[in-house]
């Protein structure tokens, strides 16, 4: 459903992505692993149209040219949601307000109410804290809210940028369980992770990104056995 071809992104004179190709199929969980600075976050930001891409890059989603859509329409029209690195909640808004804002462009009041119920069923902690300002939530709760917000805003494809960052192992598992549940309801997931072991266990297919280029790709089983991946990312 998502097809990316020769994606190039530069920050000023520095090239972050040198032309990468990858795809995500309907209902799939795909991960991009790689070291810090390999270009993982940049890739997600390019899909969300938060950073400009170089000419020649081709991005399409369900047959539509993604580059025809500004950032807010990528979410509201194409249904691609993005959980940004560091969660980036609106700390001055309550939990409910954060979730409502994510539905800003949605016109289906009934659907919104249904999704809100669903999201509180997946994350009961959020319902308990619904009137609390999101800045006062714990790290784990904040990550749950970040995922919940994405769940409310667009449901076809979810882009996740380091959701494990800063979470205790138990909470991390809780978040990934929830993501699996969301995926089983039909949302495709593109996950970017530094924690390669976790990502390879979670996803079905993987790409290894090194210095702005795809260095390896395949099923997660294949990549887990890849000597290069084993040595550099899975600790031997």
Partner 1 sequence: MTHFLQNLVNALQWGSFYALIALGYSMVYGILMLFNFAHGDIFMVGAYIGFGMASLLLALVAWGGLALPSWLILVLTILVSMFLTAIVGVIVERVAYRPLRDAPRASAAITGLMVGIILETGNLALLGASRVRFPSLIQSVTFDFGGVYVTNKKIMIVAVSISLMIALHQFVKRSKWGMAMRAMAYDYVVVPLMGVPLNTIAALTFGLGSALAAAAGILFSVAYPVLDPYMGIVFGWKAFVAAILGGRGSVLGATLAGFLLGFIEIFVAMVFPSTLRDLIAYSIILVILVFRPHGFFGEPYSARLRL
93 binds partner 1, rule: CB under 8 A:
yes
Task: Name the helix (H) or strand (E) containing 191.
Answer: strand 188-193
Among candidate residues 66, 63, 62, the one with its CA nearest the CA of residue 7: 66
130 binds partner 1, rule: CB under 8 A:
no
Tell me whether strands 188-193 and 29-33 are parallel, antiparallel or unpaired.
parallel
100 binds partner 1, rule: CB under 8 A:
yes
Among 48, 57, 142, 143, which residue sits at the site for partner 1 (rule: CB under 8 A)?
48
Cα–Cα distance between 214 and 85 in angstroms, integer? 21
CB of 101 to partner 1, least distance (A): 5
Among positions 23-42, residues that touch partner 1 (CB under 8 A) are 41
Q: Phi and psi dihedrals of 17, rounded to 5?
A: -130, 130
153 binds partner 1, rule: CB under 8 A:
yes
CB of 146 to partner 1, least distance (A): 10
User: Which one, 153 or 220, has the nearer CB to partner 1?
Assistant: 153
Cα–Cα distance between 22 and 157 in angstroms, integer? 15
Stretch that binds partner 1, among 2-10, 18-26, 65-73, 110-118 (CB under 8 A): 65-73
Cα–Cα distance between 106 and 133 in angstroms, integer? 23
User: Which one, 75 or 203, has the nearer CB to partner 1?
Assistant: 75
User: Which one, 45 or 205, has the nearer CB to partner 1?
Assistant: 45
Stretch that binds partner 1, among 53-61, 75-83, 193-201, 216-224 (CB under 8 A): 75-83
Cα–Cα distance between 233 and 44 in angstroms, integer? 21
72 binds partner 1, rule: CB under 8 A:
yes
178 Cβ contact list (under 8 Å, min separation 6): 122, 123, 144, 147
57 binds partner 1, rule: CB under 8 A:
no
20 binds partner 1, rule: CB under 8 A:
no
Cβ-contact 106, 76 below 8 angstroms: yes
Residues 60, 218, 8, 14: what is their CA dihedral angle, to the nearest 10 degrees? 150
User: Which one, 161 or 226, has the nearer CB to partner 1?
Assistant: 161
108 binds partner 1, rule: CB under 8 A:
no
Cβ-contact 38, 210 below 8 angstroms: yes
User: What are the residues binding partner 1 (CB under 8 A)?
Assistant: 41, 45, 48-51, 70-73, 75-76, 81-82, 84, 88, 90-93, 97, 100-106, 149, 153-154
């Amino acid at each position: 459903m998502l097809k990316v071809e020769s994606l190039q992104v530069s920050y000023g004179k520095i090239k972050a992505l040198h032309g990468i190709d990858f795809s995500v199929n309907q209902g799939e969980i795909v991960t991009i692993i790689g070291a810090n600075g390999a270009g993982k976050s940049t890739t997600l930001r390019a899909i969300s149209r938060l950073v400009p891409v170089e000419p020649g890059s081709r991005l399409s989603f369900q047959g539509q040219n993604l580059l025809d859509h500004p950032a807010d329409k990528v979410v509201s029209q194409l249904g691609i949601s993005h959980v940004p690195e560091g969660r980036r909640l609106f700390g001055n808004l309550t939990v409910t307000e954060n979730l409502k804002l994510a539905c800003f462009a949605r016109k289906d009041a009934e659907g919104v109410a249904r999704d809100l119920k669903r999201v509180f069923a997946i994350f009961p902690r959020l319902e308990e804290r619904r009137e609390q300002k999101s800045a006062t939530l714990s790290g784990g709760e904040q990550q749950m809210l970040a995922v919940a917000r994405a769940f409310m805003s667009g449901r076809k494809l979810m882009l996740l940028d380091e959701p494990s960052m800063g979470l205790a192992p138990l909470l991390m598992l809780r978040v990934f369980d929830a993501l699996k549940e969301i995926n089983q309801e039909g949302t495709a997931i593109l996950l970017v992770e530094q924690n390669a072991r976790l990502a390879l266990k979670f996803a079905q297919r993987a790409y290894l990104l090194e210095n702005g280029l795809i260095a390896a790709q395949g099923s997660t089983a294949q990549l887990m056995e890849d000597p290069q991946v084993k040595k550099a990312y899975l600790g031997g």
